[in-house]
Protein backbone atom coordinates (compact mmCIF):
# COMPACT_ATOMS: atom_id res chain seq x y z
CA UNK A 1 0.00 0.00 0.00
CA UNK A 2 1.07 3.45 -0.53
CA UNK A 3 1.86 5.76 2.35
CA UNK A 4 -0.57 8.57 1.51
CA UNK A 5 -3.45 6.10 1.47
CA UNK A 6 -2.42 4.60 4.83
CA UNK A 7 -2.17 8.09 6.38
CA UNK A 8 -5.56 8.99 4.99
CA UNK A 9 -7.11 5.81 6.41
CA UNK A 10 -5.47 6.36 9.82
CA UNK A 11 -6.65 9.96 9.84
CA UNK A 12 -10.20 8.86 9.03
CA UNK A 13 -10.17 6.15 11.77
CA UNK A 14 -8.79 8.54 14.38
CA UNK A 15 -11.40 11.17 13.54
CA UNK A 16 -14.21 8.62 14.03
CA UNK A 17 -12.72 7.42 17.33
CA UNK A 18 -12.50 10.99 18.67
CA UNK A 19 -16.16 11.75 17.92
CA UNK A 20 -17.81 9.30 20.31
CA UNK A 21 -21.50 10.13 20.68
CA UNK A 22 -23.25 9.76 24.06
CA UNK A 23 -27.02 9.71 24.65
CA UNK A 24 -27.80 12.24 27.40
CA UNK A 25 -30.87 13.96 28.74
CA UNK A 26 -31.55 16.27 31.64
CA UNK A 27 -34.71 17.42 33.33
CA UNK A 28 -35.51 20.05 35.92
CA UNK A 29 -37.26 18.31 38.83
CA UNK A 30 -39.32 19.80 41.67
CA UNK A 31 -39.40 19.26 45.45
CA UNK A 32 -42.07 20.39 47.90
CA UNK A 33 -42.60 20.66 51.65
CA UNK A 34 -45.54 21.89 53.69
CA UNK A 35 -45.55 23.15 57.26
CA UNK A 36 -48.73 22.29 59.18
CA UNK A 37 -50.25 23.84 62.28
CA UNK A 38 -48.78 22.73 65.59
CA UNK A 39 -51.13 20.97 67.98
CA UNK A 40 -52.14 23.00 71.00
CA UNK A 41 -54.23 21.80 73.94
CA UNK A 42 -55.88 23.69 76.77
CA UNK A 43 -57.82 22.48 79.79
CA UNK A 44 -61.38 23.75 79.73
CA UNK A 45 -62.65 22.14 82.95
CA UNK A 46 -60.95 20.34 85.82
CA UNK A 47 -61.81 16.71 86.54
CA UNK A 48 -64.12 17.15 89.55
CA UNK A 49 -65.56 14.14 91.40
CA UNK A 50 -67.65 16.46 93.59
CA UNK A 51 -68.51 16.17 97.28
CA UNK A 52 -69.08 12.86 99.05
CA UNK A 53 -68.64 11.03 102.34
CA UNK A 54 -66.71 7.73 102.47
CA UNK A 55 -68.41 6.62 105.73
CA UNK A 56 -66.94 3.49 107.36
CA UNK A 57 -66.12 1.47 104.23
CA UNK A 58 -65.30 3.79 101.34
CA UNK A 59 -65.81 2.68 97.76
CA UNK A 60 -65.44 4.10 94.27
CA UNK A 61 -66.90 7.00 92.33
CA UNK A 62 -67.12 6.56 88.58
CA UNK A 63 -67.38 9.80 86.63
CA UNK A 64 -68.06 9.07 82.96
CA UNK A 65 -66.82 11.38 80.19
CA UNK A 66 -70.48 12.21 79.44
CA UNK A 67 -70.90 13.58 83.00
CA UNK A 68 -72.78 10.66 84.60
CA UNK A 69 -71.59 9.99 88.20
CA UNK A 70 -72.20 6.74 90.10
CA UNK A 71 -70.78 5.17 93.24
CA UNK A 72 -70.14 1.71 94.66
CA UNK A 73 -69.52 0.67 98.25
CA UNK A 74 -70.84 2.74 101.14
CA UNK A 75 -70.04 6.17 99.67
CA UNK A 76 -72.68 8.84 100.02
CA UNK A 77 -72.66 11.28 97.09
CA UNK A 78 -73.23 14.87 98.17
CA UNK A 79 -74.69 17.85 96.41
CA UNK A 80 -72.73 20.47 94.58
CA UNK A 81 -71.03 20.39 91.26
CA UNK A 82 -69.06 17.61 89.61
CA UNK A 83 -67.91 17.24 86.03
CA UNK A 84 -65.59 15.38 83.68
CA UNK A 85 -62.46 17.15 82.50
CA UNK A 86 -62.64 18.90 79.15
CA UNK A 87 -59.86 19.80 76.76
CA UNK A 88 -59.77 21.83 73.56
CA UNK A 89 -57.28 21.08 70.79
CA UNK A 90 -56.40 23.12 67.77
CA UNK A 91 -54.40 21.80 64.86
CA UNK A 92 -54.31 21.04 61.16
CA UNK A 93 -57.89 20.60 59.89
CA UNK A 94 -58.86 17.04 58.91
CA UNK A 95 -55.63 15.51 60.31
CA UNK A 96 -55.80 12.50 62.65
CA UNK A 97 -54.68 12.77 66.26
CA UNK A 98 -53.57 10.11 68.75
CA UNK A 99 -54.86 10.60 72.31
CA UNK A 100 -52.99 8.97 75.24
CA UNK A 101 -54.68 8.98 78.63
CA UNK A 102 -52.77 8.11 81.82
CA UNK A 103 -51.84 4.43 81.75
CA UNK A 104 -51.26 4.16 85.49
CA UNK A 105 -53.30 5.41 88.45
CA UNK A 106 -52.52 8.88 89.78
CA UNK A 107 -52.92 10.14 93.32
CA UNK A 108 -54.94 12.97 94.80
CA UNK A 109 -53.36 14.20 98.03
CA UNK A 110 -54.78 15.98 101.07
CA UNK A 111 -51.90 18.37 101.78
CA UNK A 112 -52.98 18.98 105.40
CA UNK A 113 -53.21 15.33 106.42
CA UNK A 114 -50.95 13.60 103.84
CA UNK A 115 -53.66 11.10 102.88
CA UNK A 116 -54.25 10.03 99.27
CA UNK A 117 -56.95 8.72 96.91
CA UNK A 118 -56.32 6.96 93.62
CA UNK A 119 -57.72 7.83 90.18
CA UNK A 120 -57.77 4.94 87.69
CA UNK A 121 -59.63 3.54 84.66
CA UNK A 122 -59.40 6.63 82.48
CA UNK A 123 -61.77 7.01 79.51
CA UNK A 124 -62.62 9.74 77.04
CA UNK A 125 -65.03 10.96 74.38
CA UNK A 126 -63.81 10.61 71.65
CA UNK A 127 -62.06 7.40 72.74
CA UNK A 128 -58.32 7.42 73.36
CA UNK A 129 -56.06 6.01 70.67
CA UNK A 130 -55.33 6.97 67.09
CA UNK A 131 -57.51 8.04 64.23
CA UNK A 132 -59.39 10.85 65.95
CA UNK A 133 -59.93 13.54 63.30
CA UNK A 134 -59.60 17.26 63.90
CA UNK A 135 -62.66 19.04 62.54
CA UNK A 136 -62.50 21.14 59.38
CA UNK A 137 -62.53 24.21 61.65
CA UNK A 138 -59.20 23.04 63.15
CA UNK A 139 -60.77 22.26 66.57
CA UNK A 140 -61.33 19.13 68.62
CA UNK A 141 -63.06 18.82 72.01
CA UNK A 142 -62.31 16.00 74.43
CA UNK A 143 -64.13 14.95 77.64
CA UNK A 144 -62.31 12.76 80.18
CA UNK A 145 -63.68 10.72 83.04
CA UNK A 146 -62.21 8.17 85.45
CA UNK A 147 -62.83 6.21 88.63
CA UNK A 148 -61.84 7.52 92.07
CA UNK A 149 -60.98 4.89 94.68
CA UNK A 150 -61.81 6.17 98.17
CA UNK A 151 -60.87 4.59 101.49
CA UNK A 152 -62.89 4.82 104.70
CA UNK A 153 -63.11 7.97 106.82
CA UNK A 154 -59.81 7.12 108.61
CA UNK A 155 -57.98 6.58 105.29
CA UNK A 156 -59.56 9.65 103.69
CA UNK A 157 -60.52 12.21 106.32
CA UNK A 158 -62.39 15.44 105.60
CA UNK A 159 -60.52 17.88 103.36
CA UNK A 160 -59.68 18.75 99.80
CA UNK A 161 -57.61 16.33 97.71
CA UNK A 162 -55.62 17.63 94.74
CA UNK A 163 -53.41 16.06 92.06
CA UNK A 164 -52.20 16.39 88.49
CA UNK A 165 -52.07 14.10 85.48
CA UNK A 166 -50.93 14.23 81.87
CA UNK A 167 -52.74 13.58 78.62
CA UNK A 168 -50.67 13.43 75.44
CA UNK A 169 -51.88 14.44 72.00
CA UNK A 170 -49.92 13.87 68.79
CA UNK A 171 -50.50 13.68 65.07
CA UNK A 172 -50.90 10.13 63.73
- Work out how many domains the chain is built from and give that number: 1
pLDDT at 50 over 90: yes
The answer as to whether 34 is a domain residue is no
SS3 at position 110: coil
Helix count (H) and strand count (E) of the chain?
1, 12
16 within a domain of the structure (yes/no): no
pLDDT of residue 80: 87
Give 66-81 as a DSSP string: TS-EEEEET-EE-SS-
Predicted confidence (pLDDT) per residue in 122-159, tens digit: 999 999 999 999 999 999 999 999 999 999 999 999 99
Residue 11 pLDDT > 70, yes or no? no
Task: Give me the domain span that covers residue 131.
Answer: 40-171
Query: Which tens digit of pLDDT belongs to each residue from 72-124?
Result: 999 999 988 999 999 999 999 999 999 999 999 999 999 999 999 999 999 99
Q: What is the pLDDT of residue 51?
A: 96
Residue 98 neighbours by CB under 8 Å, 6+ apart: 129, 130, 131, 132, 168, 169, 170, 171, 172
Amino acid sequence: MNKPLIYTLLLMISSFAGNTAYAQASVTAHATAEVILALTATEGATLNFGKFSPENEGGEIKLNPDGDRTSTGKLILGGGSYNPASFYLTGQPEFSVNIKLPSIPILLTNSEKGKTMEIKNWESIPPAGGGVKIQSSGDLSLSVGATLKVGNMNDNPVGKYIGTYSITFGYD
